[in-house]
C-alpha cells in the first residue's frame, strides 16, 4: 500500500476518534458528526484513487443508488421510528461485511489458514448482524410480533447452530479451495444464527439487542479488515465494536439483568400470576382534576416511556411543560436509561418537540430529590417506575434501578387502561395512596390539560 493511501487512512481514523469524542456533549456533537463523515469521505476517496477503482462504472452506480436510498430513508423517517431505522441501517453494514468476505473468497480461494479463518468469521458475523438486524427491525416495526418467540428445543437448536458454525469453520479453513459448498453453508448458518438469536427477545429488551447488533456490525467490519489486510477497517471496526459493548452493558445494568438473561430467558413471555395480597384501590381522576393538581404544583417531574412514542405525544407534552413553567412551576423530565426501544430514544423525541436538553435529567440525578417533587407525571412508562423493583423480592424485576416516582408528593399516571406492562408484571404504584390514574390516550389527555390551562 502506498504511503499516501496509508496517510489518508490514518487521517480518517483520527477523524473518527475526534468525531466520536465531540459527541460527548450536545453543544459539540454536530461538529463531531461532521468530522466523522469527513473521515468516511476521505477513506472512500483514498480507496478509489489508490486502487484505481473507477472501472467498472457500475461501482459508482452502486454508490449513487446507495446514497440516494440512504438520503431518502434519512429524510422520511419519523423520530418515533428511529429504533427500527437504526436497526435496518445496521443490517446493511453487516450485509456489506458478509459480501466483502464472500467476494474475497472468489478472488483467492486457496488462501492460507489465517485468511481462511478470518474470512469465515467475517461472513458468519456479517450474516448474523444482517439477519439479526432485519428481525429486530421487523419486531420494532411490528411487522412481526414484538413478543418473545419461544418453542420447545429452542436452546438445543441454538446450540446446534452454533456448533455447526464451529464445525463448518474448521472444515472450511483446513482446505478452503475445495470446500466452497461448506463456505456457502456457513453463510446460511450465519444468517440463521441471527434469526434464532433475536426471535426469543421481547420488545422492551430491544435497547440491549440494538446495542449488541451495533457492536456486531463493528466486529464484522473489523474482521473484514483482517481479511483484506486493511488497517482502517480494523481500527474503525474495533471502535464501533467497543462502543456497542459499552451501550449493551449500560442497558443491562439499567435492568439489573445479565446479558445472558436478556438473550436467552425470553423475558416477558410468561404472564405473571396475579399477585395474591390485597392491592388496594385504584383512584382515577379526570383531566380537570389533574389540571387543578398541576396548576397548584410548584414542581412537576415528567417521566416518559415507550407509550409517549406510541401515542406521538411528545409535542403535547412539551406544550404542557411550557405552560406549567409559565405558571411558575419548576419542570424537569426524568429519563430512565431503558425507557423506549433504544438507548436515548426519549431524549430524541423530546428534543424533536423542542424541549431544551438541560431539562432532560438522568435517573440518578432526580432520585435523591424526588420527595420534594409536588407532582410526578408518568406518561406511558410502567416497569421503569415500578416500586416492586425496590420492595418486592419476588418480583421478576426486583433489583432493577427505577425512577422513584412513588416518593413524590402526588403521582399522576397516564395510561390507556389497567393492563399490565410489557413484562406482564403487576405495578403496585397504581394502588399507592398518592397515585392518581388518568386513563386515556396520552396525546389526547395531554392536549386536554393544555386546553384547560389555556382556558384560564
Under 8 Å CB-to-CB from 292, ≥6 apart: which residues? none
Q: Of 119, 173, 347, 427, which one interacts with other proteins (CB under 8 A)?
A: 347
224 contacts other proteins (rule: CB under 8 A): yes
351 contacts other proteins (rule: CB under 8 A): yes
Number of residues that bind other proteins (CB under 8 A): 115
Element (H, E) at 377: strand 375-379
56 contacts other proteins (rule: CB under 8 A): yes
Q: Of 6, 10, 11, 33, which one interacts with other proteins (CB under 8 A)?
A: 33
| 452/446 Cα distance (integer angstroms) | 10
Rounded least distance, CB 278 to other proteins, Å: 38
Part in contact with other proteins (CB under 8 A); list of ranges 196-204, 237-245, 259-267, 372-380: 237-245
412 contacts other proteins (rule: CB under 8 A): no
| 115/107 Cα distance (integer angstroms) | 12
Element (H, E) at 38: helix 26-50
Rounded least distance, CB 336 to other proteins, Å: 10
Q: Of 11, 234, 270, 282, which one interacts with other proteins (CB under 8 A)?
A: 234
30 contacts other proteins (rule: CB under 8 A): yes
Three-class SS of 184-234: HHHHHHHHHHHHHHHCCCCHHHHHHHHHHHHHHHHHHHHHHHHHCCCHHHH
Rounded least distance, CB 207 to other proteins, Å: 9
Rounded least distance, CB 236 to other proteins, Å: 4
User: Which lies closer to other proteins via its Cβ, residue 64 or residue 157?
Assistant: 64
Alpha-carbon torsion angle 101, 106, 110, 116, nearest 10: 10
44 contacts other proteins (rule: CB under 8 A): yes
> What cell was used for 336?
430512565
Which among 205, 383, 406, 441 is annotated as catalytic? 383
Active site residue 371: no
> What cell was used for 412?
399522576
Q: How far apart are the first and last CA of the chain?
A: 73
Binding mask 10-29 for other proteins (x = CB under 8 A): ---x--xx-xxx-xxxxx-x
226 contacts other proteins (rule: CB under 8 A): yes
User: Which lies closer to other proteins via its Cβ, residue 233 or residue 445?
Assistant: 233
Contact 277, 431 (CB under 8 A): no
Rounded least distance, CB 350 to other proteins, Å: 9
Residue 413 phi, psi dihedral angles, 5° rounding: -105, 115
Q: Of 136, 165, 222, 385, which one interacts with other proteins (CB under 8 A)?
A: 222
| 155/211 Cα distance (integer angstroms) | 23
Rounded least distance, CB 265 to other proteins, Å: 24
Q: Give CA angle at 164 (158, 167), nearest 5°.
A: 145
228 contacts other proteins (rule: CB under 8 A): yes
- Contacts to other proteins from residues 152-211, by CB under 8 A: 210-211
Cβ atoms within 10 Å of 190's Cβ, excluding its own: 29
Element (H, E) at 77: none
Binding mask 100-139 for other proteins (x = CB under 8 A): x-xxx-xx----xxxx----------x-------------
Rounded least distance, CB 186 to other proteins, Å: 15
220 contacts other proteins (rule: CB under 8 A): yes
62 contacts other proteins (rule: CB under 8 A): yes
| 376/409 Cα distance (integer angstroms) | 8
Q: Of 80, 84, 96, 205, which one interacts with other proteins (CB under 8 A)?
A: 96
| 318/324 Cα distance (integer angstroms) | 10
CA-closest candidate to residue 334, choices 362, 310, 315: 362
| 248/191 Cα distance (integer angstroms) | 22
| 82/78 Cα distance (integer angstroms) | 7
Hey, which residues are catalytic here? 383
Amino acid at each position: 500500500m502506498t504511503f499516501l493511501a496509508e496517510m489518508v487512512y490514518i487521517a480518517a481514523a483520527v477523524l473518527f476518534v475526534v468525531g466520536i469524542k465531540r459527541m460527548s456533549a450536545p453543544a459539540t456533537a454536530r461538529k463531531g458528526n461532521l468530522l466523522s463523515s469527513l473521515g468516511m469521505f476521505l477513506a472512500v476517496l483514498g480507496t478509489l484513487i489508490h486502487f484505481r477503482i473507477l472501472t467498472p462504472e457500475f461501482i459508482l452506480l452502486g454508490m449513487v443508488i446507495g446514497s440516494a436510498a440512504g438520503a431518502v430513508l434519512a429524510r422520511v423517517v419519523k423520530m418515533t421510528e428511529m429504533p427500527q431505522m437504526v436497526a435496518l441501517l445496521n443490517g446493511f453494514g453487516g450485509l456489506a461485511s458478509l459480501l466483502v468476505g464472500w467476494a474475497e473468497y472468489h478472488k483467492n480461494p486457496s488462501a492460507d489458514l489465517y485468511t481462511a479463518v478470518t474470512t469465515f468469521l467475517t461472513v458468519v458475523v456479517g450474516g448474523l448482524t444482517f439477519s439479526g438486524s432485519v428481525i429486530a427491525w421487523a419486531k420494532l416495526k411490528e411487522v412481526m410480533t414484538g413478543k418473545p418467540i419461544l418453542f420447545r428445543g429452542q436452546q438445543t437448536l441454538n446450540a446446534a447452530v452454533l456448533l455447526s458454525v464451529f464445525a463448518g469453520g474448521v472444515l472450511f479453513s483446513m482446505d478452503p479451495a475445495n470446500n466452497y459448498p461448506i463456505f456457502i453453508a456457513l453463510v446460511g448458518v450465519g444468517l440463521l444464527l441471527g434469526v434464532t438469536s433475536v426471535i426469543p427477545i421481547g420488545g422492551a429488551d430491544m435497547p440491549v439487542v440494538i446495542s449488541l447488533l451495533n457492536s456486531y456490525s463493528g466486529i464484522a467490519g473489523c474482521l473484514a479488515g483482517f481479511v483484506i489486510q486493511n488497517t482502517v477497517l480494523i481500527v474503525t471496526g474495533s471502535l464501533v465494536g467497543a462502543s456497542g459493548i459499552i451501550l449493551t452493558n449500560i442497558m443491562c445494568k439499567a435492568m439489573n439483568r445479565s446479558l445472558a438473561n436478556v438473550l436467552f430467558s425470553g423475558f416477558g413471555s410468561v404472564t405473571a400470576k396475579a399477585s395474591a395480597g390485597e392491592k388496594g384501590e385504584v383512584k382515577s381522576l379526570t383531566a380537570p382534576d389533574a389540571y387543578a393538581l398541576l396548576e397548584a404544583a410548584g414542581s412537576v417531574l415528567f417521566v416518559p416511556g415507550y407509550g409517549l412514542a406510541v401515542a406521538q405525544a411528545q409535542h403535547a407534552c412539551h406544550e404542557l411543560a411550557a405552560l406549567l413553567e409559565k405558571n411558575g412551576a419548576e419542570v424537569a423530565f426524568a429519563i430512565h436509561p431503558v425507557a423506549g426501544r433504544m438507548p436515548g430514544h426519549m431524549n430524541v423525541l423530546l428534543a424533536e418537540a423542542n424541549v431544551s436538553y438541560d431539562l432532560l435529567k438522568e435517573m440518578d440525578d432526580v432520585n435523591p430529590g424526588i420527595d420534594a417533587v409536588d407532582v410526578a407525571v408518568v406518561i406511558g412508562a410502567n416497569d421503569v417506575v415500578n416500586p416492586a423493583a425496590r420492595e418486592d423480592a419476588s418480583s421478576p424485576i426486583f433489583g432493577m434501578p427505577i425512577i422513584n416516582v412513588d416518593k413524590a408528593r402526588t403521582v399522576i399516571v397516564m395510561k390507556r387502561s389497567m393492563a399490565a406492562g410489557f413484562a406482564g408484571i403487576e405495578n403496585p404504584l397504581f394502588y399507592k395512596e398518592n397515585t392518581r390514574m388518568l386513563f386515556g390516550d396520552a396525546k389526547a389527555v395531554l392536549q386536554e390539560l393544555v386546553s384547560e390551562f389555556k382556558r384560564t
